[in-house]
A and B are shown apart, each in its own frame.
Chain A
Amino acid sequence: MSTSSDVISPSGSAAADRGSGNKSFLFLIVGLVLIALSAIGLFTGSETDPARPFVGWILGISFWLSILIGMLFLTMIWWMFDAGWSVIIRRQLEHAVGAFPYLALIFLPLVLLSVLSGDKTGIPWIWMNSDAIVPGGHGTVAHDVLYQSKAGYLGQGFFIVRYVLYFGVWTTLALLFRRWSFNMDRTGDHSNVHRSRKLAAAGLFLCAFATTFAAIDWFKSLNYHWFSTMYGVWFFAACMRAGLSATVLTLFYMAGREDGLKGIIKPAHFYLMGCIMLAFTVFWAYISFSQYFLIYNANIPEETFWYNMRELNADGSKNSWWWVSMGLIFLHFFVPFLYLLWYRNKFAARLRFIAIWILTFHLLDLYWNIVPQKLAEDSHGHYMIRPFGISWVDVTMFLGVGAIVIWSFLKSAARERPIPIRDPRIEESINCHE
Chain B
Amino acid sequence: MSTTADQHSQVSGAYSRPDVLEEVRPASIPRRPLIENNRSFTWITQKVCGIVESKTPTWWWVAFIICAAIASFTLMGLTYLVSTGVGVWGLRNPTFWGWAIVNFVFWIGIGHAGTLISAILCLLKQKWRTSINRAAEAMTIFAVICAGIFPLFHVGRVWFAWWLFPLPNANAIWPNFRSPLEWDVFAVSTYGTVSILFWYMGMIPDLATIRDRVPMIFEQRMANAGTAGRQAFERFYFGFRRLFYGILSMGWRGSNRHWSNYEMAYLLLAGLSTPLVLSVHTVVSFDFAVANLPGWHTTIFPPYFVAGAIFSGFGMVLTLMLPLRAIFGLQDLITQYHIDCMAKICLATGSMVGYAYMMEFFIAWYGANPYEGFAFVNRAFGPYAWAYWIMISCNVITPQFFWFKWVRENLWLVWILSCFINVGMWFERFVITVTSLANDFLPANWDYFSPTIVDIFTFFGTFGLFGVLFLLFVRFLPLLAFAEIKAVSKQADVHGHH
Contacts and interface: CB of A to CB of B under 8 A. Distances in A.
B351 A423 contact: no
Given A216-B366, A262-B12, 17 more contacts: A201-B403, A229-B359, A230-B303, A233-B300, A252-B11, A263-B15, A286-B278, A286-B302, A290-B299, A294-B302, A302-B367, A417-B20, A419-B24, A422-B25, A422-B26, A424-B28, A430-B21
B170 interface: no
A349 B351 CA distance: 39
B301 interface: yes
Contacts of B368: 145-146, 149-150, 227
Contacts of B359: 212, 229, 232
A290 B27 contact: no
Contacts of A349: 10
A84 interface: yes
A270 B10 CA distance: 12
A424 B26 contact: yes
A324 interface: no
Nearest to B26: A426
B10 A348 contact: yes
Max count, chain A CB within 10 A of own CB: residue among B3, B7, B16, B297? B7
Residue of B28, B290, B299, B369 ringed by the most chain A CB atoms within 10 A = B299
B498 A267 contact: no
A82 interface: yes
Interface in B271-310: 275, 278, 282, 286, 289-290, 292, 297-303
Interface in B1-20: 3-4, 7-8, 10-20
A315 interface: no
Contact of A427 (B26, B278, B282, B286): B26
Contacts of B290: 294, 297-298
B296 to A, nearest CB: 10
Nearest to A4: B27
Most buried by A among B15, B27, B301: B27
A233 B303 contact: yes
Nearest to B301: A294
Contacts, number: 160
Contacts of B278: 286
A431 interface: yes
A248 B166 CA distance: 46
Nearest to A227: B367
A130 interface: no
13 contacts: A145-B368, A153-B366, A190-B29, A201-B403, A209-B355, A212-B359, A262-B13, A265-B11, A267-B11, A275-B123, A295-B299, A348-B7, A422-B24
A9 interface: yes
A423 B27 contact: yes
Interface string A414-434: 000111011111111011000
Interface residues of B, number: 55
B497 interface: yes
A188 B27 contact: yes
Interface in A246-291: 252, 255-256, 258-259, 261-267, 270, 275, 282, 286-287, 290-291
B12 A427 contact: no
Contact of A208 (B10, B297, B355, B363): B355
Contact of A422 (B19, B27, B275, B286): B27
Interface in A291-341: 291, 294-295, 297-298, 300, 302
A295 to B, nearest CB: 7
Given A193-B29, A294-B301, A430 B24 contact: yes
A153 B469 CA distance: 52
B26 to A, nearest CB: 5
Given A188-B27, A428-B498, A227 B20 contact: no
Interface string B366-380: 111100000000000
B12 A263 contact: yes
A300 B290 CA distance: 11
6 nearest A-B pairs in the assembled complex, by CB-CB distance: A229-B300, A230-B299, A227-B367, A424-B29, A149-B368, A290-B302
Contacts of A425: 26
A428 B25 CA distance: 12
Contacts of B369: 302
